[in-house]
Structure 1
Amino acid sequence: MEIIRTAFIGFGYRGRLLFRLLQHIPSYDVIAMADPGISSLDTEGRACYAEGEDDYLRMLNEQHPDLVIVASPWHCHVKQTLHCLEAGCHVGLEIKGGLALGEYQAVIELSKKVDRRIYPLENTLFMRENLAVCNLVQAGALGDIVYMTGGYRHDLRNLLLDASGRLGNTDCPEGAWRSRFYQTENGDLYPTHGLAPLCLIAGINRGDKIVSLTSFSSKSAGIKQRIRELSGDEQVAISMGDIISTQLQTESGVLISLIHDTTLPRPRSLNFEVQGTKGIWNGERRSIYIEHLSPHEQWESDESYISQYEHTYWKQWGREALQIDVHHQGMDYIMLKALEADLRHAMMYPVTIEDLALWTSVSPYSKQSIREGRTLSLLPTS
């Protein structure tokens, strides 16, 4: 595929960010955008489809893109992806789903039937250090993996609340729809940023399987306090705990701890740590300790190891990625280059829609575990 005729469904913050990056990759020819909230001025001369939420159907019928980037609100993803597949398009699917168990099954089946690929756009998979640690683990440098942590630790109160302390920040389109989950749900809403790289590193869904899950919720103090400070309202109903802690166990005995932490003050963090029988890597401090190689019981910088186990993606595209994709330290650009390489049959994209279905299943399972106060067995029943 010499030129990848590309269209967007959803052109908010995330769609615009990816669009800017695609302009630096000559193979992508962005031909159209569909979003009820945009105008022709937003699309820079490209075809604009903004006559209601379903105008993307007209775009698919008229433009016949090779690839559609679906970057719309979460509840639209499955329906829009199915329509893209029916139109013969490959799909770059933004994160995340997790609205119901089995939500992607129809997508998985149709993608096989029409022979079109779905590319989960989970950018943390393409972080330089995460990909290098994947190579490092596969080489056995940390030994047999025993324990891993990850999470989504990002203070979203300014996104969820407006300046007057009202939920549903109309100044931020994402906040307007995303805040509703905090009044109706209690579980890990966003497991993919933390879990996806850990699954890649440990080969989960490629041999090992997750067999049990237990989730816990803290009280909802952080977001309520901010609402009181801004509006004085003491009565706003919030169901989402400030901290959701989820423990996952794999068939081989690996323990994974995930944290969802979005309504308390803190610097942003993905909370990565990978620990095995020969050593441990900590992504937060960018440090590593390998027994008999590192100074005794002392952390050392991981940079020499990251360089030694540099992933092919970063060897090929790392320099340009860091120059072009300053916002996300190169990982979005690397992700788009990996998608391009897969469409050209040069290199396989590292994950599939089946992986996305696994990662996002943590959301409904965590809600069930908290609601019922128990550990869930995820082993298939005969």
Structure 2
Amino acid sequence: MLGVAFEARDVVRVGFVGVGGRGLSQLNEMLAVEGARVTAVCDVVPGQIRKAVERIEKAGQPRPFQSTDWHDICRRDDVDIVYICTPWDHHVDPAVYAMECGKHAAIDVPAATTLADCWRLVDTSERTRRHCIQLENCCYDVDEMLVLNLVRTGQLGRITHGEAAYIHDLRSTLLADHAEGLWRREPHTTRNGNLYPTHGLGPVAWYMDIHRGDRFTRLVSMSSLQASLEAYRDATVPADSPKRAETYVCGDMNSSLIQTAAGRTVLLQHDVVTPRPYSRINLVQGTRGAFCSYPARLFLDGQGHAWQAVTPELRAAHEHPLWKQQGDLARKLGGHGGMDFIMNYRLIQLYRRGLPPDIDVYDAAAWSAPGPLSEISVAWGDIPVPFPDFTRGAWRAAGPVRAGVD
């Protein structure tokens, strides 16, 4: 499915599966996108469906079909793309069924949590000729798209190394009695590795043209001891809570190294349980310079020995065309600083114009695969493990991702 275009249509009809916290947030962004119509919504909580319907009608769109069964959404003739915002373990089944029903699927991150499910998505997409898009909003953040522009225009030279992460103190979220606290803590009791790899890795994969002339070939991973989530629980949760009986096995920090066929390297980290500032690192190193976020800074060969802060003037000079075109509206809507709107806008406009998606099923699989691969590496004493070639060799011939310059 590399380079396979959407079928062009003026209005793209979207069916939402999951309209909880994340789903409602994405619904708000989608309702602001020209050419998008939300025709169906599904959630296991009827109250969430009512909230979604109210927002859809307030936006001036017709009352959508409603169901608590996602199969109903996938089977409808008035849905072109099934937009899945469910807990992680409930991503793959709706996506596979949607494609089998002739619909494209768009999945929140990570697309899958096992290698078998990564392959299920790839195999189904290829067999049905339907796209499976991973909704990786961080690829469309203002800094990440600025870096992509720097890379595409040759400012950083030949890219050799990248660093990516999801470092986010989620202790209170994980231990809450509502929302993500109902499901997101469970993987910490059963898995030891990188539980959430795509936010940092997706943009770096774009910088390196992964699946478009290069691919990930092997991964080695190790985890620190587990300590912080347990300590926070013991300090904040009542002694008679069932949470006190839980045993956490996921190390506080997981660090993985990934190598590519071209010899590039990627450091990928995951830490959601320690007290520290948020970071995706977002570092890319080339032969002519480097960029790193948190805070955003640039270093170009010959400028001395210190980073250059990304000033408004520098940002304006290198801002990605997509943000120049849509940035004001994106910032006004405000979903994760505007990246959510840019992602949804881009998805719908590519569909309307009959162009291939920026993020395809091979990206969805490869960006999600460090989850299970890191678990394998850690469990076997931090050994290197081979990285599957989800494209079956097609990565050699594909051109670079266009991402807003077509």
| TM-score normalised per structure 2 | 0.85
Residue 219 of structure 2 aligns to a residue whose secondary structure is strand
Cα separation, partners in 2 of 1:251 and 1:306, compared to 1, 3 Å: farther
The separation in 2 between residues aligned to 1:144 and 1:343, in whole angstroms, is 32
* Superposition misfits of 4+ residues, deviation over 6 angstroms: none
The separation in 2 between residues aligned to 1:347 and 1:265, in whole angstroms, is 43
Residue 329 of structure 1 aligns to a residue whose secondary structure is helix
Residue 107 of structure 2 aligns to a residue whose secondary structure is strand
One-letter code aligned to 1:66? D
Cα separation, partners in 2 of 1:380 and 1:184, compared to 1, 3 Å: closer
One-letter code aligned to 1:327? G
The separation in 1 between residues aligned to 2:358 and 2:271, in whole angstroms, is 27
Residues 187-206 of structure 1 mapped to structure 2, 5 A cutoff: 187-206=193-212
- The yes-or-no answer on 1:139 pairing with 2:153 is yes
Find 1:247's aligned residue among 257, 269, 274: 257
Greater relative contact order, per chain length (Cα 8 Å cut-off, separation 6+): 2
One-letter code aligned to 1:211? T
- The yes-or-no answer on 1:261 pairing with 2:239 is no
Residue 323 of structure 1 aligns to a residue whose secondary structure is helix
Aligned 8 A contact 2:35 2:352 in 1: no
Alignment-derived partner of residue 108 in structure 2: 94
- The yes-or-no answer on 1:49 pairing with 2:67 is yes
Find 2:284's aligned residue among 249, 261, 274: 274
- The yes-or-no answer on 1:302 pairing with 2:306 is no
- The yes-or-no answer on 1:114 pairing with 2:124 is no
The separation in 2 between residues aligned to 1:20 and 1:179, in whole angstroms, is 27
Cα separation, partners in 2 of 1:219 and 1:380, compared to 1, 3 Å: closer
Superposition RMSD on alpha carbons, in Å?
A: 2.1
- The yes-or-no answer on 1:17 pairing with 2:17 is no
The separation in 1 between residues aligned to 2:356 and 2:381, in whole angstroms, is 41
Residues 281-292 of structure 1 mapped to structure 2, 5 A cutoff: 281-292=291-302
Give, in angstroms, the shift of residue 90 of structure 1: 1.6
The separation in 2 between residues aligned to 1:69 and 1:380, in whole angstroms, is 26
Residue 142 of structure 1 aligns to a residue whose secondary structure is coil
Identity level (%):
29
Give, in angstroms, the shift of residue 25 of structure 1: 1.8
Deviation sequence 1:147-191 (CA, Å, 0-9, x none): 2111001111111113xxxxxx3x22x221111101011000000
Alignment-derived partner of residue 166 in structure 1: none
Residue 194 of structure 1 aligns to a residue whose secondary structure is helix
Alignment-derived partner of residue 208 in structure 1: 214
One-letter code aligned to 1:96? P
Give, in angstroms, the shift of residue 347 of structure 1: 5.1
The separation in 2 between residues aligned to 1:104 and 1:365, in whole angstroms, is 11
Q: Which ranges in structure 2 are unaligned for 5 or more consecutive residues? A: 1-8, 55-62, 390-406
| TM-score normalised per structure 1 | 0.90
Aligned 8 A contact 2:377 2:385 in 1: no
Residues 136-175 of structure 1 mapped to structure 2, 5 A cutoff: 136-162=150-176, 169=177, 171-172=178-179, 174-175=180-181
The separation in 2 between residues aligned to 1:98 and 1:18, in whole angstroms, is 19
Moved more, 227-236 or 78-87: 227-236
Q: Which ranges in structure 1 are unaligned for 5 or more consecutive residues? A: 163-168
One-letter code aligned to 1:291? D
Alignment-derived partner of residue 74 in structure 2: 60
The separation in 2 between residues aligned to 1:161 and 1:97, in whole angstroms, is 24
Give, in angstroms, the shift of residue 89 of structure 1: 1.4
Give, in angstroms, the shift of residue 205 of structure 1: 1.9
